[in-house]
Chain A
Amino acid sequence: MSGLAPIEPVLLSRRGKPDSASIETYLEDGGYASWKKVLGGAKSGEWTPAKVTDLVKASGLRGRGGAGFPCGMKWTFVPPKEKRGDKPVYLLCNADESEPGTFKDRLLMEMDPHQVLEGMMLASFALDVKHAYLYIRGEMVHVAELLNKAVADAYAKGFLGKDVLGSGRNLDITIHRGAGAYICGEETALIESLEGKRGHPRIKPPFPAVSGVWECPTVVNNVETLCCVKHILDRGPEWFKSIGRNEKNTGPKLYCISGHVEKPGVYEAPLGVSWNTLLAMAGGVKGGRKLKAVIPGGPSAAMLTAKEVENLPMDFDGVAAAKSMLGSAAIIVMDETTDIPKAVTSIAKFFAHESCGQCTPCREGTPWMHKMLKRIVNGEGKKTDLDLLLQIAGQMGNGMTICVFADAAIAPVLSGITKFREEFEAYVAKSNHPDFALAAPEDLTNKVADRTAAGIHS
């Protein structure tokens, strides 16, 4: 059986069931079986944290938050007890789903909060965590309320609290609401925010696994990742590995498809499903129009042209090979009617608004790019603007900032201008910028280059 064959929904298996968020229906559907199984075997030594970690490692599960870092390996970065001493380990479930076009975690939490909680419980067992946090995006008020109820129910049934199910182990889960900042989805910013500070990403190293929240070892996992952990424990790593394009891209994946498609929504498919299959699942391009571009992983990912995305395996490595990224699989489809410069401007506005303001290149660069793009689409662009935009973008990313926000912010600008340059040039050609009334505008860009070559200012 090909790993890419259509699958029965796993993560979304309980979508649409009446009262699917309640603990009763969850238990009816066999929920918390793995939690009971693992805790039941903990005393006898049948189940150990190392065994859970090994299963997750064997499954090849890669983090579903965006970077696609192998989940099991991340867990092993936590220093062993001898090294960390009295410091507790914390598990943070990253539910600060803020990438435009991403809505899979919200669906999981709304439809099946206990699935998320069970995933957190199992990961807590594997990491020897006594207190786990779920950091939820501030805007999702009703989801936070729902989760709080789910947590209360889990406590009432004895799945959480002191001496869980008689295993002698304690586990608490706290739902923490953010204050509505995109950057708090970055794991170190999330940690800062959870500590009550401004959501500023931290300098790494030290990585959270060594020194995270309250300077204790911390693992941050995405909602969907933790849900996958539950299913790996339910059905075993072999089953998980049987789904997916290859050894490195395994398991079911939720794809959030939005934009110009007939049926936007969350779709579950094997990781690595081809673009064409995915588009077909979403009912094809809206109104039967032609596809122009696809953003495969939220605005932080470089946009792909219709040609580039054709038959592309939609997994971490497949999209990376096309010089973009799968990210959180927030796929935004743009048909031939889309005005790319306007789309890029809109994305640039988002990033200018969401930059945390810590590092100079990002704090100053993102609004600068937005101002220029806005000027271009408002018909006041200059000839030099496009090259300048590319140059600004070129000097923001690749280590110039503490976190990768700047790299995310420049991806749509770089890809938009390089792949759809003629559309931008069309705007500039129609420009009524006062510079055009003058004689040929001075090309400062070249002047800078000349002077750089002469070593004047460097």
Chain B
Amino acid sequence: MAKVTVDGKVVEVPNDANALEACRAAGVDVPHFCYHPRLSIVGQCRMCMVEVEGVPKIQASCTVPVRDGMVIKASTEKALAARNATMEFLLINHPLDCPICDQAGECKLQDNAVGAGLPVSRTSEPRRQFPGYDRTPIGPHVIADMTRCIQCTRCIRFCEEITGTGELTFVERGGHTFVWTHEGRALDNDLSACAADVCPVGALTTKEFRFRKRVWWLDKTRSVCDGCEIGCNMSIEHRDRIVYRTLPRVQPAVNDFWMCDYGRFRAEDLNRQDFLKPEIRVAGSDARKQTNWGEALDVVKIAIDRARNEEKNIASKGRVLVLGSARLTTEENWLLKTLFEDSLKVGTPEFVVDKGPKRRIKNKVDGWIYGTEAAPNSRGCEAAGLKRNRPGDGSALDLLLSKKSFSSSSPAVLYIADAAFTERANDLEFVLLLRQASVLIVHARVKNALTDAADIVLPSAPLSGKEGTFVNAKGRVQRVDTAIMSPPVVRTDLEILLHLGGRWDLLDTRWTARDVFENMQASVAGYEGLAWDSDAVVGNPPSISPAAAYDVLGLERDPDVEVFSRPSVAAPDRRS
């Protein structure tokens, strides 16, 4: 560690830190554009100018490695004048159309113009244009507008250093320099939208979110991506019960600053809610009717009780088969197990995990980490005591799926806590196998072949509408929070299970996810000693701007306090 003095305040920072990081550690905000904690230092935006004692010339603080005893003067007149100068240079050619720029509100140029800009413009020259290079898609997700570019090269370095794909480059030189893809290439890699995240201005934006909502109207809620078992921390950004986008939430141990395009653009799907009310099959008909929760849960209870009684009579196992899901939280899966196995004694719930395409994300600790499952929580399911289905293992589900059991030994009740637990839920042959059960009960949000075949459909909330925890590939317990309340009548899977248990007086319907978490801790491996509210479980708060590169070097800093700080000089009274 090196002891560094910043504006009179002494801080200790790691030896490999630079002066900019030392300033941030000392709580002195030095505005910057090209610096990013995970990208190489290029020192070319010249925004983070500070004075260093003993060095005659002004220095870009990100390019100055700290050394013990260094004295940094970040707020001298000379340093502030230098930043003013850089701001002025950046703004002489930048369009002044913030009201119609999609980056407005989370734009570092805007922020820094408030903190370090001049109050007036001194230029009267025509502004630079990039005909043919504005508002153009450069890949499947990213739209580039070079009139807004400030040439910080964060996106170029991201593609070179993080994804290693190197699609982007500088073209031309001098004042005509702009960023574009290499001849004949597209910005098409599995993390491409992160290039738009690191862009401090509106030069790169994502097609999916562009012009859909002003960012200052979005509420941000902590969540975890459910695309695969890596469990990238993300924030769900929503307003008026609509999810507009998801952004990576910094988590150095998992996804760092990044998130893959697949996970990011699942946001759209979170708004889908095909089932708004419970539905039960009309006796002797192919149709289902909508009903209320009271009737629906009563019917479920009757069906299960009948099967249990049968079971006692004919002493055959597996008359009630319960399927959990690796797409549900550990709390929900644990409730399934508690209710059906421990209390109702109908056997261990099973779960199926689809192999998905290989997903990957990079962090500084592990390098690339990979996800191969199409669900976020198979480890949580196992920890909760569910049985992972493996073809040929002779389990009840295996028998059902092996087509050998078109007989009286088929389950009387098949209870599926997530109708989309596998891709094959849309496969009619597969559904037919499941349909061998006399009564098919599913929790569902999205219509598929399985819900079409079900007798009872219980409407459940999407990821954005629930809270609970997932266990990721590294065994890390991570919490998701409720971003939006689902429409009335739609319930989270947790609530459905609690109320179902309540029908037998087996579960306390007043429980929240937190209560479940605390009750299951003792019996679930990996949850011992964790607190629902602990930082480890909750993760970092959403950042104010996706381009915000707040410090993650282990230096004490509240990431919510962001960007610029104005010197404490009172503004003159403008009323006089």
Instruction: State the A residues within 8 Å of B (CB).
Output: 181, 198, 203, 352-361, 363-368, 371-372, 375, 382, 388, 395-396, 398-402, 444-445, 447-448, 451, 454-458
A26 to chain B, nearest CB (A): 38
A364 to chain B, nearest CB (A): 4
Of A357, A388, A401, A447, which is within 8 A of B177 by CB? A357
B175 to chain A, nearest CB (A): 4
Say whether, besides A365-B89, A368-B125, A458-B567, A447 and B170 are in contact (CB < 8 Å). no
Name B56's closest neighbour in chain A (CB-CB).
A399
Starting from the known contacts A448-B122, A454-B569, 6 additional A-B residue pairs (CB-CB under 8 Å) come to A356-B174, A360-B86, A361-B89, A364-B92, A399-B59, A447-B120
Confirm or deny: B283 has a beta carbon within 8 angstroms of a beta carbon on chain A: no
With a cutoff of 8 Å between Cβ atoms, the chain A residues found around residue B122 in the complex are: 388, 444-445, 448
Report the bound CA distance from A43 to B235 in whole Å: 70
Instruction: State the B residues within 8 Å of A (CB).
Output: 41-47, 49, 57-60, 63, 77, 80-82, 84-86, 88-90, 92-93, 116-126, 128, 150-151, 169-170, 172-177, 567, 569, 571-572
Question: Are A363's CB and B59's CB within 8 A?
Answer: no
A119 to chain B, nearest CB (A): 31
Question: Are A198's CB and B170's CB within 8 A?
Answer: yes
Say whether, besides A368-B125, A399-B58, A400-B49, A363 and B571 are in contact (CB < 8 Å). no
Question: Are B89's CB and A364's CB within 8 A?
Answer: yes
Question: Are A457's CB and B117's CB within 8 A?
Answer: yes
Question: Are A400's CB and B120's CB within 8 A?
Answer: no
Name B571's closest neighbour in chain A (CB-CB).
A456
Say whether, besides A356-B173, A382-B124, A447-B120, A364 and B46 are in contact (CB < 8 Å). no
With a cutoff of 8 Å between Cβ atoms, the chain B residues found around residue A454 in the complex are: 569, 572
Report the bound CA distance from A396 to B58 in whole Å: 11
Question: Are B44's CB and A458's CB within 8 A?
Answer: no
Name 19 interchain pairs, CB-CB below 8 A, sorted by A. A356-B174, A357-B174, A358-B44, A358-B151, A360-B47, A360-B150, A360-B151, A367-B128, A367-B174, A367-B175, A371-B125, A382-B124, A395-B85, A400-B49, A400-B85, A444-B120, A445-B122, A448-B118, A448-B120
With a cutoff of 8 Å between Cβ atoms, the chain A residues found around residue B125 in the complex are: 368, 371-372, 375
Report the bound CA distance from A364 to B175 in whole Å: 6
Question: Are B173's CB and A456's CB within 8 A?
Answer: no
Report the bound CA distance from A95 to B70 in whole Å: 39
Name A205's closest neighbour in chain B (CB-CB).
B65
Question: Are A359's CB and B119's CB within 8 A?
Answer: no
B130 to chain A, nearest CB (A): 13
Report the bound CA distance from A365 to B45 in whole Å: 13
Say whether, besides A356-B174, A357-B173, A402 and B57 are in contact (CB < 8 Å). no
With a cutoff of 8 Å between Cβ atoms, the chain A residues found around residue B123 in the complex are: 368
With a cutoff of 8 Å between Cβ atoms, the chain A residues found around residue B49 in the complex are: 400
Of B88, B120, B124, B174, which is within 8 A of A354 by CB? B174
A178 to chain B, nearest CB (A): 13
With a cutoff of 8 Å between Cβ atoms, the chain A residues found around residue B173 in the complex are: 181, 198, 354-357
Of A354, A363, A368, A398, which is within 8 A of B58 by CB? A398
With a cutoff of 8 Å between Cβ atoms, the chain B residues found around residue A357 in the complex are: 151, 170, 172-177
B406 to chain A, nearest CB (A): 68
Of B118, B175, B567, which is within 8 A of A363 by CB? B175
Question: Are A451's CB and B46's CB within 8 A?
Answer: no
10 closest A-B pairs by beta carbon, nearest first, are A399-B57, A357-B177, A395-B85, A455-B569, A367-B175, A364-B89, A355-B174, A371-B125, A399-B58, A458-B80
Report the bound CA distance from A388 to B45 in whole Å: 22
A448 to chain B, nearest CB (A): 6
Report the bound CA distance from A445 to B366 in whole Å: 53
Name B75's closest neighbour in chain A (CB-CB).
A458
Report the bound CA distance from A401 to B47 in whole Å: 10
A213 to chain B, nearest CB (A): 18
Point out which of B88, B150, B151 has the most chain A C-beta atoms below 10 A from its C-beta. B88
With a cutoff of 8 Å between Cβ atoms, the chain A residues found around residue B172 in the complex are: 357
Question: Are B46's CB and A353's CB within 8 A?
Answer: no
With a cutoff of 8 Å between Cβ atoms, the chain B residues found around residue A400 in the complex are: 46, 49, 58, 82, 85-86
Report the bound CA distance from A110 to B188 in whole Å: 48
With a cutoff of 8 Å between Cβ atoms, the chain A residues found around residue B175 in the complex are: 352, 355, 357, 363-364, 366-367
Of A354, A371, A402, A455, which is within 8 A of B567 by CB? A455
B193 to chain A, nearest CB (A): 26
Question: Are A363's CB and B81's CB within 8 A?
Answer: no
B569 to chain A, nearest CB (A): 4
Question: Are B43's CB and A203's CB within 8 A?
Answer: yes
Question: Are A360's CB and B44's CB within 8 A?
Answer: yes
With a cutoff of 8 Å between Cβ atoms, the chain B residues found around residue A448 in the complex are: 118-120, 122
With a cutoff of 8 Å between Cβ atoms, the chain B residues found around residue A356 in the complex are: 173-174, 177
B217 to chain A, nearest CB (A): 28
With a cutoff of 8 Å between Cβ atoms, the chain A residues found around residue B571 in the complex are: 456
With a cutoff of 8 Å between Cβ atoms, the chain A residues found around residue B117 in the complex are: 457
Of B45, B63, B119, which is within 8 A of A360 by CB? B45
Question: Are A361's CB and B92's CB within 8 A?
Answer: no
Question: Are B85's CB and A402's CB within 8 A?
Answer: no
With a cutoff of 8 Å between Cβ atoms, the chain B residues found around residue A198 in the complex are: 169-170, 173
Name A201's closest neighbour in chain B (CB-CB).
B44
Name B572's closest neighbour in chain A (CB-CB).
A454
B126 to chain A, nearest CB (A): 8
With a cutoff of 8 Å between Cβ atoms, the chain B residues found around residue A447 in the complex are: 120
With a cutoff of 8 Å between Cβ atoms, the chain B residues found around residue A365 in the complex are: 89
Point out which of A365, A396, A399, A448 has the most chain B C-beta atoms below 10 A from its C-beta. A399
Report the bound CA distance from A77 to B472 in whole Å: 52
With a cutoff of 8 Å between Cβ atoms, the chain B residues found around residue A396 in the complex are: 85
Report the bound CA distance from A208 to B296 in whole Å: 77
With a cutoff of 8 Å between Cβ atoms, the chain B residues found around residue A444 in the complex are: 120-122
Report the bound CA distance from A388 to B128 in whole Å: 20
Report the bound CA distance from A375 to B118 in whole Å: 24
Name B150's closest neighbour in chain A (CB-CB).
A360
With a cutoff of 8 Å between Cβ atoms, the chain A residues found around residue B120 in the complex are: 444, 447-448, 451
Report the bound CA distance from A396 to B89 in whole Å: 9
A159 to chain B, nearest CB (A): 38
A348 to chain B, nearest CB (A): 12
Question: Are B177's CB and A361's CB within 8 A?
Answer: no
A365 to chain B, nearest CB (A): 6
Of A352, A368, A401, which is within 8 A of B92 by CB? A368
Report the bound CA distance from A78 to B282 in whole Å: 88
Report the bound CA distance from A355 to B175 in whole Å: 7
B199 to chain A, nearest CB (A): 16
A349 to chain B, nearest CB (A): 11
Report the bound CA distance from A25 to B169 in whole Å: 48
With a cutoff of 8 Å between Cβ atoms, the chain B residues found around residue A363 in the complex are: 89, 151, 174-175, 177
Question: Are A458's CB and B46's CB within 8 A?
Answer: no
Report the bound CA distance from A148 to B572 in whole Å: 69
Point out which of A359, A364, A365, A445 has the most chain B C-beta atoms below 10 A from its C-beta. A364
With a cutoff of 8 Å between Cβ atoms, the chain B residues found around residue A382 in the complex are: 124
Name A454's closest neighbour in chain B (CB-CB).
B572
With a cutoff of 8 Å between Cβ atoms, the chain A residues found around residue B90 in the complex are: 360, 364
Question: Are A456's CB and B572's CB within 8 A?
Answer: yes
A277 to chain B, nearest CB (A): 36
Question: Are B93's CB and A364's CB within 8 A?
Answer: yes
Report the bound CA distance from A299 to B430 in whole Å: 79
Question: Are B57's CB and A456's CB within 8 A?
Answer: no
Say whether, besides A356-B174, A360-B151, A458 and B119 are in contact (CB < 8 Å). no
Report the bound CA distance from A437 to B117 in whole Å: 30
Name A397's closest neighbour in chain B (CB-CB).
B57
A398 to chain B, nearest CB (A): 6
A369 to chain B, nearest CB (A): 10
Report the bound CA distance from A203 to B89 in whole Å: 21
Question: Are A203's CB and B119's CB within 8 A?
Answer: no
Name B568's closest neighbour in chain A (CB-CB).
A455
Question: Are A458's CB and B81's CB within 8 A?
Answer: yes
With a cutoff of 8 Å between Cβ atoms, the chain B residues found around residue A354 in the complex are: 173-174
Name B169's closest neighbour in chain A (CB-CB).
A198
With a cutoff of 8 Å between Cβ atoms, the chain B residues found around residue A353 in the complex are: 174
